[in-house]
Structures are given as C-alpha cells and as structure tokens.
Structure 1
Amino acid sequence: MDMETKTPKKAGVFRVWGKMLPYIKPYRKWVAAIIAAMLLDACIAVAYTLIAGYVVDRFVTPRTHQGITTFAILYSGLVLIKTLCQIVLGSLALRLEMYIGRDLKRDLFTHLQTLSFSYYNQTPVGTIVARALNDPGRIAEGIPWILVDAVYCSVYVFTCLGVMLVLNWKLGLLVLAVVPFIALFTVYFEKRILKVNRKARKINAEVTRHYNEGISGAKTSKTLVIEDKNLDAFREVSGSMCRTSIQAVMLDAIYIPIISFLTALAVSFVITGGGNMAMAGGISIGELTVFVNFALRIADPVQGFAFQATRFVSMQANIERVVELLELKPQITDTPEVVEKYGTSLEPRRENWEPLLGRVTFEDVTFRYPDGTENVLEHFDLEVPAGSTVAIVGETGAGKSTLVNLCCRFFEPTAGRILIDSRDYRERSMLWLHSNIGYVLQTPHLFSGTVKENIRYGRLDATDEEIVAAAKLVNAHDFIMRMEKGYDSDVGEGGGQLSTGEKQLVSFARAVLADPRIFVLDEATASIDTKTEALIQEAISTLLDGRTSFLIAHRLSTIRKADMILVVRDGKIVQRGTHQELMDQGGYYADLYNKQFEAENTEAAFRV
C-alpha cells in the first residue's frame, strides 16, 4: 500500500498546525512586525469610526468650523500611518510566504533523497509531485495571509465590542448576543469542511498522476491506440474532483450566508435599540453614528474571520499530508554508530571511509520483500572474490534483480548477512557502498543539461579531459563529437534528444568516470541496436578488468566468460557454475542458451 492510500491520522487542528512552527520560528521577527502592524492598523480603523462620531458632535450638530484645520491635519496623519502599516505588512507577508514555501519544498526534496527504493516502487510519481509541490505552496500561501486577516479581523471585532460596551453596555450586549451562535455554527461546519478538503487533496493527487502518466506515456498511448481509455479514466477522476469541489463550495456557500445573517441581525438590533435611545435623549447623535458605523462595519471582519477560520481548518489536510511525508522513515537506514563515524548521505565524513576492495559474501541470507508473503531467497550462500564477474540469468520476471538489490543495499536481508570485504555492510554507511558502485540500467536516465554535465555526475570534480577520456573508453566520443555542440550539446529532458543506445553509452561513461570497485550492469545491452551493443561489449572487458561485477543478462551469449553464472527461475536460484559447467550439466540453462542460439542464428539468416 502506498502512503497515498493510507488514512491520515486525525489530530486536533492546533496540534497539526503546531508542526509548522519550526518553519515559522526563523522568521519570528517578521511575524512580530506583521502582528504589530495589523494591531496598529486595526486600532486606526476603529478610530476612524470614533472620529466620525466626534465630527458629528463637534462640527456637524453645532454647525461650526472652529478647529477643523487641526482635526484635518491629525486625521491625515492617521491615514498616513495606516498606509505605512499596510505597506509593511503586505511586503513582509509576501516575503514570509516565499521563504516558508522555499523551506518546505527544500526539506521535502531533501527528505525524498533519503527514502528507500521501495517507496518509489510503491508510490506513483504524480502523488509525490502533488505532495512536494502543491501542498507546500498552499501552506506557504495560507500561513501569512491567514495570520494577517485573522489578527486584523479579531482585533477589530473585539476592539469594536469593547468600545461599544464602554459607550453603552446595553447596545454592546445586543451585538454580543449573536457571538455564541457564530461559534456554534463554526464548530459544526469545521469537521465537515475538513473531511471534504482531505478527500479533495487526495483526488487532486490522482489528477496529477493521470496528467503525469498521460504526458510521459504519450508515445505509448498513441502506438497502443488507448487515448479513449486514458480519457475515460481521466474523466472519472476529474469528475470525482469536480463533485468533491462542488461539495466543498456548497458547505462554504451555506456557512458564510449563515454568518452574514447573524451579523445582519446584530446590525438590526443596534439600529433599532440605538435609534430609540437617541430619540429619547439617552445617547447623542454622534454616539448613535458610532454605533451604526460599528454595526455596519463589523459585518465584514466577522465574515472575514469566519472565512479564515474555514481556511485555517481546510489547510489542516495539506499540512497532514506534508508532515506525513516528512515523518516517513526510510526502510533502510544506517545505525547511529555508523552515522557518527561515516556521516550521512548529505553530510558524509569521507575521511573515515575505508577503501573498498570488492569481495562480496552472502552468508546464510534469507530475503522476503517488505510487501511480500514468501521468501525469495532462503539460506543462500555465495562467495564473490574481488575482481570476479558474476552473471545472473533467467527469463523476464524471474527475480534476477533481487541479488543485485541486496548487494547494493537497496534492500537488506530478512535474515543472514552480506559482507563487503569480510565485514557486514550494515557496519558502514550506505553512501560509502553506493559511492563504490557503478550501476548501469537497461533504461538509463539522463538529467536535463549537456552531455558533459551528465557524464560529470559520475564524479563532480572531474576535469574536462577526464570526461573525454571516459567517453572514449566506452566508445561514446565519436557520436558525441557528431552532435552540433559536441560535449556541450543539450540532451533534453530525460535524454530525449538521444537514442536509447546513445543514452546508454553516456550512462556507461558516467559510471566509468566514478571509477567504482563494483560494477552492476542490469541488462545494459538489452534495449540497444546491434552496432551499439558491439561498441559496448568491446568496452565492457576493459571496464570490468580488476573490478567485481554483476551482470544481469538477457542475451546469454554476452556472459560466457563470466567467472560464475547464477540461473534464476521463479525467484529461486536453480543452477550455478561457469558457462561450460552449466552446458555440461544440461537442464534449464542449457535449454535457454540453445533456444537463444537458434533464434539468433535464424535472425542472422534473415538479415543475410
């Protein structure tokens, strides 16, 4: 089960938001400045209403202009201060949004680098992208602006209520009478809005996944003529997203008008009660003006506060998803003692790394995949001397990659030990081992950038001369020089500007540049043309000289010189030995080899 299908643990909204405090704390001075600016801004807004009442009693009712110039100067000063407050809080809130978003995405990206291979095997790319990009963006956008609006609205509302109680407690209580009802409706709708938003976020990840698969698999879809099937699947998930979004909007559409009605009710109470008091001489016209303005203006901040409350609650779903990913522990980790000596993958202590010679020992190894129910290996023993070549053969899906995945510590034995140079490889760091492994996949991955940059990933401090030497060693130099800009030619996204064979040659050059002690070739020549395969085979013997190597092979003719051949069938190793020993034994390997030999001869005859 991938983590996207897991039901998030329910927690209190404030407890969930507390997980964001480490991202807010570094910018606490900005937050303090924003709050201070909002407090001053809200107080000035309240003062505007009091000033309106003062104007009525001081200038309008007595019909005088005396002192109005001084009043105008003071009022203009308040307007200037309020404008400056809004500039400060606006600029700081925007910066806070950008920096929190940067920090969240950076931590997520860093954490994704530490997760085990099993996570990427079980979790769709679209799901990961949605969590790593969409959710942090929404959180970063919400934190500063919820803070701004919530502080402003709450300060304005409570200051208004306090002023009204001081001016006339009876009218103030009429407004306070609706507050409990607003609180009750807010609590009632909170759980429903949160539930719908959780569902919407999950479906949005599915939408992203469908887009990702539709774009990356566009060529396959066209060749298989399954555009209509893809469209039907997308219609289903997008329809579900539409229905869930409508449900969320409907909840808001019900909730906000209820709050608006309660606010309008408070306004009518104030106007009715205050009007009667003014007619009876209980309050002045200026005071009535203050109450009417407060009653009218309080509606917007109350609704604004209610809106931010729903937004505050709905964002809990985004935070839960991000925190769940950040707290996800990799299945394969180094012990604290190993980390203390050898460092981590991001902060290695290379000065403590011992040289790797290349001897690999499987000692009574039993293995079962984390999501499996049966053992793939049972009490398996294998001794691979340093510098020897082990070939692993079998039909597609037989489980050939299991041994290599264990050797590279992408997975660890369920029982038993794997030794590197006579020492349990769990006693050293994963980065130490991975830095000494050159892994070439059947489908190589190139990063966006130039040919030179992709080869240099093998060793970042390599010189241009070393890069060219590595390319020449694997017979990649000639095709690179035929490109328009040579080594500075762009390979495109995922190496899209190169053929599969050319990408494979660049991948070989990258592995060679790393100068690893252990080489893993995972069916590295299975998907390339005969001419390119000949170039690679010519280089392989040179590459593997003096290095421990594991060759996962589909074409058995390429591994006849291996020191040991392991034959895998239905996830079990059924034969082992040299090519000649296995041919003499007969059995499964001999049958596979003879069938391939006949097929290759037939193919060659047709080419002639």
Structure 2
Amino acid sequence: MAKRNTSNEDEQLKTHFNWHDYARLGQYLKPYTWRMLLVLGSILIGNVAIILGPYLMKVAIDQAIPQRNFQLLWGLSGTFLVSLLVAFGCFRYRIWAITEIGQNLLIDMRTDLFKNLQKLPFAYFDSRPHGKILIRVVNYINTLSDLLANGLVNLISDVISLVITLIFMFAINWKLTLDSLVLIPFLLLWAYYVQKRQRTAFRALSNKQSNLNAYIHESIAGIKVTQGFAQEEHAVNTFDSVVNDNRDAYMRAVKIQYALSPGVQNISTMTTALIYFIGIQQLGVVVSTGTLIAFLGYINNFWNPVINIGNFYNSLVTATTYLERIFETMDEQPTVTDAPDAFALPPIKGDVRFNQVSFRYDEDGPLNLDNVSFHAKVGQTIALVGPTGAGKSTIINLLSRFYNVNSGQITIDNVDLSQVTLESLRTQMGVMQQDTFIFSGTIMDNIRYGRLDATDAEVVAAAKLARADTFIRTLKAGYQTEVQERGDSISAGQRQLLAFARVLLADPRILILDEATAAIDTKTEAQLQAGLNELLKGRTSFIVAHRLSTIQQADQILVINNGHIVEAGRHADLIAKRGEYYELYDSQYRMLQAE
C-alpha cells in the first residue's frame, strides 16, 4: 500500500500554481458572458453617476452660487439626486446578479471536482485522510466562489471607476493629477514585498486547515473507539495541538496579509496632504476653490478603488493557495481508465483466468501478488483463504479492475479486461466489499442502489433471498425505515445482509463476496447459506472467507500466502493433503471446540 499522509502531516504540492492558470478560471465565466456584460454595463453607468457628483459640486461652487443662478443650482441638485438614484439601482442589480453568478460558479467548479473524484482509483483515497479531500470540495471552493464572481466584478468596477476618475481629474487639472500619482511606485514596491511573504504564509495555513479538517473527520468516524477505550482526554489533547497549529499559522498569515492595507492607506493620506499643500499654494492663481474641492473629492474617488484593488490583490494571493489544492485534485489523473480503443464487454458467461499476474500497491514496495495463475470455469465457486494480508482481497480488486495489474493478464471469457470499458465490466459483476457501507436513506433505497431501475417487488425478492426480509419487517417502518450514515442505527450483521441483498439485486454473472458473512451470527449464516446455494448456481463466484465452515462446498479452494497460491483443490482433497489449509481448518476447529 502506498505511503499514507496523516492528519498531522503537511501535504506537499506536486506542482505549484502558475499565474497563467488564472486563464483557466475564466473558462468558468464563459457560460455567463452575457450576464457579466450586463453587470459591467450597470457598473459603468453607476460609476459615471457617482463620479458626476464632485463635478456638479464644482459647477455649483464656481458658477451657480457666485452668480446667484438658482435655476442652475436647482438643475444641478436635481441632476445630483437622479445620479444617486441611478447609482443605487445599478448597485442593487449588480449585487443580485453577481450573487447568482457566484453560486453558479461554485456549483460548476465543485461539480467538476466531484466528477474527477468519482474517477480516481482506490489508491488515491488510500493515500490520504478523507478529511483532506473533503476540505477541497467544500471549504476551498466556498472561499473561491466570492473571489471569482463578486471579487472579479468589483475589480472591474474599481478599474472602470479608476479610469473614469482619472479622466475627470485630467480634465479639471492635469498638473494636480500628475502630482497625485507621484507616490504610486512606492505602493507597487510595497505590494510586491508583501505578496511574496503572504503566499508562503497562506500555503502553510492551507496545510494546517487541511490537517485540522482531517483530524475532525477521523475523530467523528472513530468516536465509538475513542469512548470505548475512554480516550476522550487524549483526543482533546491531540485536537488542541492541531487547532493551535492552525491558529498560529492563521495569525502569521493575516499579520502579513493586513500589512498591505495600512501601506495603501498611508500613501493615500500622504497623497491627499500633498494635494492640499500644492492646491492651497496655487489657490486663486492657478486653482479655483471649486476646482480644489472637486479635486479633493476625486482624490478620494481615486484612492477608494486603489484600496479595493489592493484588497482584491490580497484575496487573490490568498486564494492562490486554495487554487493550488483544487487544481491539483482536478488534475489528478485516474490510473484505472478505459484504453483508447476499449470496447464494451459483451454479456459474459463467467469464465475467468489469471495468467501470471503480478501486482504491488506501492511502486517501490514488495509484490503483493507474485506470478499468480488460476482458472475459474463458468458457474464455479472459488474460495480464497489464507492469513491476513496474504493477497486475497487483492485478487478480487484486480478482477474488478479497481487497480491495474503490473504484469500478466486477467481474462473473462477469453477477453482481456484491460481492453474493455470499466462500466461494461463492473455492471456485470456484483461486489460486496469487506467494509460494508450503508448510505443514509431508506432501507429500500439502499438495496435498490444495486440496480436503480428495480421495482419494489424486485427489491423485496432480493432481500428475501439474502434473508434480510425477516429483520426488515420487524422495523417500525419496514422497507421505508430511515437508516443513518454508514448504517449505525442497525447492527453490523444487518448491514451485511442489506449489502448482500444489494448485490443480489444486481443479478450479476460474476459474484464477489469479500468476508460476506463475517458479522453474521451462526443461525443467520445458516439461513443465508441456503439462499447462497441457490444463487450461486450458474454463476461464477469468488468468496473470500476466514470462516472456513462457509466454503466447504466450493468447487475450488485457493490457499493464498505471501502473494502466492500455495495450495488449490476441493475441501476434502486439501484436508487429506494435511498442508496449510489443513492447519488453518484444524486451528479454527479447535478454537470452536474450546468455546
């Protein structure tokens, strides 16, 4: 198995974010081009309406008031009122439209990320805590949605406002305008200095957030073990350590992040003071009172968008650390995929061959299967037995193509599995994993997951065959009983019966049962075995079992050890050989006798 990242271990990025990748984000805005153009139009109109205010004030101070032109003054007042109403309407439309676009972008990105997760192999999920995957789908994209929609449009709005303001400023007094821009180079240098440190700090923070989410997810999943061993205090102490690491990383990051805004504010204040100093010196000679008042208003209009752009830049640098993680997951390539010339597997009979198959989970690790070969004829039941970690589950995982073989070949009806589509293969197989998973929802829906178009009658029939119908009908709501996530509201044995019914409903030609009866009591197992005997007729079946009493009728028993088939044959023949199978069976028999 590949080395697994843990909840207290920082993840290392495979590739770092490229600024050119922001063009990739633009692809998510393409479907909303016309909506964005409408928003930009409203921004343009609203900004012109707002920026018109200081100019109207200049005209009022320099012309209407000194000349006592009340008609002009009333006209200016009316125009100012209309401009405020227009600006308010445009602002209201922008907020509503951007919120909707932002939510759509969130759905689009999250859907793409989730779709890719559905294609990734077991090895990807085996190598990292699930909480670290979850935080990318939920938290990181939530952070980005506002940036991609509201932040981006606000940036455009601020740029438009900045350009329009500069036009008005140059029209009023070009010399004062140039004076007001003299400190801009210092602002750019300060932004560059902060950006480099901010990105490093937020990358470290994203690691700590990921670790925290992973530990919380792991702790909730394992709460019964924690309480069962009275280790609540240890769990809290570990949580304190993880959450304190997160806090420290956050404080370091925001300390750098908030360094940009005071720099912008200080430069803005110094610019305003400079214009006061220059303007007052030239008042009445080059600069009129109305011009100075209007210009000071425009200075404020100029620096507000600059400050907003600085804040957006801050958010952009912060979001980059999250984009790195999101794109890394989106770009994760499935290792188990359809070949370029893959074809749909025809309806199968169930003849299975392993031809010198070798496989390792970790490319640098030892072989988990070494040159394994066997033949399962149509309708045969093949039992896989052996010690834990011998390679039994690996065989059925390869048969289902959850992993690719490193060498050798697996065929069904003489068709190489590497040449067929995954969907056409897996829809003709029924797999019951060792770790039984029950989804939140009704019992009826959980069984129907095996075949979504099945009728209620077919679901009930499968439950009866799996011997699950009896306990289901004792529940208050029967088949409509709601079960909790992972099926914690029912017993482990009942969960296995439901999972078994789900597999039976799929009516597969090849049936795979990995420890299918591990959590079922002896009485229920006997009932289930009767249904199994009927079901296995005419189907090729693979049964992984530690309880050897359940596989005595198998057509072929393969004894697996250290990745090799060390013995093969029927139960009676293997007992007579007095080899490894005999030792396994004898040790189990003696344990049962001792109980």
Q: Same fold (TM over 0.5)?
A: yes
Identify the match of residue 546 of structure 2 among 554, 572, 590.
554
Does the CA contact (< 8 Å) of 1:41 and 1:152 recur in 2? no
Does the CA contact (< 8 Å) of 2:513 and 2:542 recur in 1? yes
Partner of 1:422 in structure 2? 414
For residue 453 of structure 2, what is the amino acid of its counterpart? D
Partner of 2:400 in structure 1? 408
Does the CA contact (< 8 Å) of 2:17 and 2:320 recur in 1? no
Q: RMSD between aligned alpha carbons?
A: 1.7
For normalisation by structure 1, the TM-score amounts to 0.94
Q: 1:11 to 1:111 in 2, by over 3 A?
A: closer
1:177 CA drift (Å): 0.5
Say yes or no: does 1:118 pair with 2:119.
Answer: no
Partner of 1:5 in structure 2? 11
- Greater displacement, 152-161 / 306-315: 152-161
Partner of 2:157 in structure 1? 152
For residue 458 of structure 1, what is the amino acid of its counterpart? G
Does the CA contact (< 8 Å) of 1:8 and 1:321 recur in 2? no
CA–CA distance in structure 2, aligned partners of residues 291 and 566 of structure 1: 89
Identify the match of residue 185 of structure 2 among 180, 199, 203.
180
Identify the match of residue 294 of structure 2 among 277, 281, 290.
290
Identify the match of residue 556 of structure 2 among 554, 557, 564.
564
- Greater displacement, 135-144 / 150-159: 150-159
Identify the match of residue 365 of structure 1 among 331, 340, 357.
357
Say yes or no: does 1:323 pair with 2:315.
Answer: no
Partner of 2:435 in structure 1? 443
After superposition, the C-alpha distances for 1:369-406 in whole angstroms (9 at most, x for unaligned) are 24442222233211110110111111222222111111
Corresponding residue SS for 2:542: strand
Does the CA contact (< 8 Å) of 1:442 and 1:527 recur in 2? no
CA–CA distance in structure 1, aligned partners of residues 18 and 357 of structure 2: 45
Say yes or no: does 1:232 pair with 2:237.
Answer: yes
Does the CA contact (< 8 Å) of 2:359 and 2:407 recur in 1? yes
1:12 CA drift (Å): 3.5
Question: Which runs of 5 or more residues in structure 2 are unaligned?
Answer: none
Say yes or no: does 1:37 pair with 2:42.
Answer: yes
Say yes or no: does 1:77 pair with 2:77.
Answer: no
CA–CA distance in structure 2, aligned partners of residues 30 and 450 of structure 1: 41
CA–CA distance in structure 2, aligned partners of residues 211 and 482 of structure 1: 36
- Greater displacement, 587-596 / 58-67: 58-67
After superposition, the C-alpha distances for 1:83-106 in whole angstroms (9 at most, x for unaligned) are 121122111110111100011111
Say yes or no: does 1:255 pair with 2:260.
Answer: yes
Aligned-residue sequence identity (percent) comes to 32
1:500 CA drift (Å): 0.9
CA–CA distance in structure 2, aligned partners of residues 5 and 285 of structure 1: 61
Partner of 1:469 in structure 2? 461
Corresponding residue SS for 2:71: coil
CA–CA distance in structure 1, aligned partners of residues 64 and 35 of structure 2: 41
Corresponding residue SS for 2:370: strand
After superposition, the C-alpha distances for 1:289-316 in whole angstroms (9 at most, x for unaligned) are 1112222343322211111111112111
Q: 1:163 to 1:12 in 2, by over 3 A?
A: farther
CA–CA distance in structure 2, aligned partners of residues 537 and 601 of structure 1: 22
For residue 137 of structure 1, what is the amino acid of its counterpart? N
Partner of 1:600 in structure 2? 592
CA–CA distance in structure 1, aligned partners of residues 390 and 367 of structure 2: 14
- Greater displacement, 195-204 / 446-455: 195-204
Say yes or no: does 1:68 pair with 2:60.
Answer: no
Does the CA contact (< 8 Å) of 1:2 and 1:119 recur in 2? no
Question: What pairs with 1:195-206 in structure 2 (closer than 5 Å)?
Answer: 195-206=200-211
Question: Which runs of 5 or more residues in structure 1 are unaligned?
Answer: 343-352, 604-608
CA–CA distance in structure 1, aligned partners of residues 210 and 68 of structure 2: 66
CA–CA distance in structure 2, aligned partners of residues 136 and 253 of structure 1: 23
Partner of 2:520 in structure 1? 528
Partner of 1:345 in structure 2? none
- Greater displacement, 250-259 / 592-601: 250-259
For residue 501 of structure 2, what is the amino acid of its counterpart? A
1:43 CA drift (Å): 2.2
Detail structure 1 runs of 4+ shifted over 4 Å in the superposition.
1-4
Give the number of aligned pairs.
589
CA–CA distance in structure 2, aligned partners of residues 355 and 253 of structure 1: 64
1:64 CA drift (Å): 4.2
CA–CA distance in structure 1, aligned partners of residues 175 and 71 of structure 2: 34
Question: What pairs with 1:272-287 in structure 2 (closer than 5 Å)?
Answer: 272-279=277-284, 281-287=285-291
Say yes or no: does 1:222 pair with 2:227.
Answer: yes
Corresponding residue SS for 2:304: helix
CA–CA distance in structure 1, aligned partners of residues 14 and 380 of structure 2: 49
Q: 1:58 to 1:2 in 2, by over 3 A?
A: farther
Does the CA contact (< 8 Å) of 2:42 and 2:93 recur in 1? yes
CA–CA distance in structure 1, aligned partners of residues 95 and 179 of structure 2: 35
